[in-house]
Amino acid sequence: MSMQYDYDLIVLGGGSGGLAAAFRAAQHGCRVAMLEPGELGGTCVNVGCVPKKAMWLAADLSGRIGLAAALGFDVPTRAALDWKELVVHRQAYIANIHASYLKRLNENGVVRVPRKGRLVDAHTVECSDGIRISGAHILIATGAHPQRPDIPGAELGKVSDDFFHLCSAPGQVAIVGGGYIAVELAGLLQALGSRVTLLVRGDRLLERFDAELTAQLAENLCHQGVKVHFNYRLRELRRDGDAVVAYGHDGPSDGHFDEVFFATGRRGNSAGLGLEALGIEVGDKGEVEVDEWQTTAVPSVHAVGDIAGKVGLTPVAIAAARKLMDRLFGGQPHAKMDYENVASVVFSHPALGAVGLSEEEARARFDDVRVYRSNFRPMLQALANGSQRSLFKLVCAGPEERVVGVHLLGEGADEILQGFAVAVKMGATKSCFDDTVAIHPTSAEEVVLMR
């Protein structure tokens, strides 16, 4: 590596993408510095995937206890949760991740600088304490943050980060939004004791997912007790004593809530990085503009993860960072991230997963599309007289019926989807599954794949 600079790589941000890049570059023998003023792990570990999954598991247990009671077990229909005790276990788990990351950084010789950084030129970063360091390459991996809508009283609402500061379930909760964060928070809070109202601006949930699956998800949420209002345009929030009142454009007061959460999008953490002065373009949502190789208009400056505005998923950030490091330092000049057919999971109740094209996208792209589906109540739901339904869709295109999309709403969707994701990437056809996948009846209802 060149000794012209202090480091071969300077990483701004210690989230999933930044850590993956630092570890892979160090494995290639690079001198690496990482600037991160906060806790290691970024959004995913601290206010995202990890604590969310912990709360999701608790909510799932709550639902299963209710099913057990319906089946005759001597347990309460709705078991009380010591929320503070759950938070203690959750944060202890996260602390172990922090310690593990720090240990790996030390073992790999990565220098951690607990400061913010600002680009001075194509190879120089100024730390927030005024010290400057230079690097052959600079990676921006500063992530994104949730944003509030520009409406009167927006300061009265909270964002998804604030959910993890709760120590008890609020009584009445409004969640503004219809994306995956809104859906996940709605299911979690409803299962853990809140009464949730979901205020959705559009006419459906999860616009990037298959419409039939999201319609079934909306029905499931309603059966769980969540009130879902579509085509709702929030005008303002006002304080009324201890409550927050939501007002829509199409009517008077729409409800008094103990808490209102905004799940109305995220914005890249690009402010204050000095990008514009270097000619690096920043998009409308604060994302750093990069090419298909994760490189900005300045050849030595790159970006991965949420800040790059591609696919905002932790595994994608990790994969993109590793590909970039392999290209820059690993002798693999053609290594780049493939953003096609990326598997995505929403931790609703039950989970929803998808890979490839939705039915709508497939019909817009191909002339010959066939869809196979199975919609049923899982056996446990049927036995306990539950109302939750699962849905499985296989979207095929062309005379050979190549599988171009797989969509799952049901228990274990996050795990089952992985195998289908590989099959879709390899160009599998429906015939590949005909003799290997047996769809067994799992309830009193018939379960078959049918057109």
Enzyme catalytic residues: 440
* CA 220/CA 206 separation, integer angstroms: 14
- Asked if omega into 350 is within 30° of 0 (cis), the reply is yes
Instruction: Tell me the β-bridge partners of 395.
Output: 371, 405
Give me 156's structure tokens: 């009265």
Tell how far CA 38 is from the center of its chain.
Answer: 20
The H or E element that residue 62 is part of is helix 49-70
Instruction: Tell me the β-bridge partners of 33.
Output: 10, 111
Residue 429 in 3-state DSSP? Answer: strand
* CA 429/CA 417 separation, integer angstroms: 16
Backbone angles phi, psi at 88, to 5 degrees: -60, -45
What's the CA angle centered on 306, arms 344 and 312, to 5 degrees? 10
Question: Does residue 382 contact residue 418 with C-beta atoms inside 8 Å?
Answer: no
> Using only C-alpha atoms, what is the Rg of the chain?
24
Give me 439's structure tokens: 């769809």
* CA 186/CA 184 separation, integer angstroms: 5
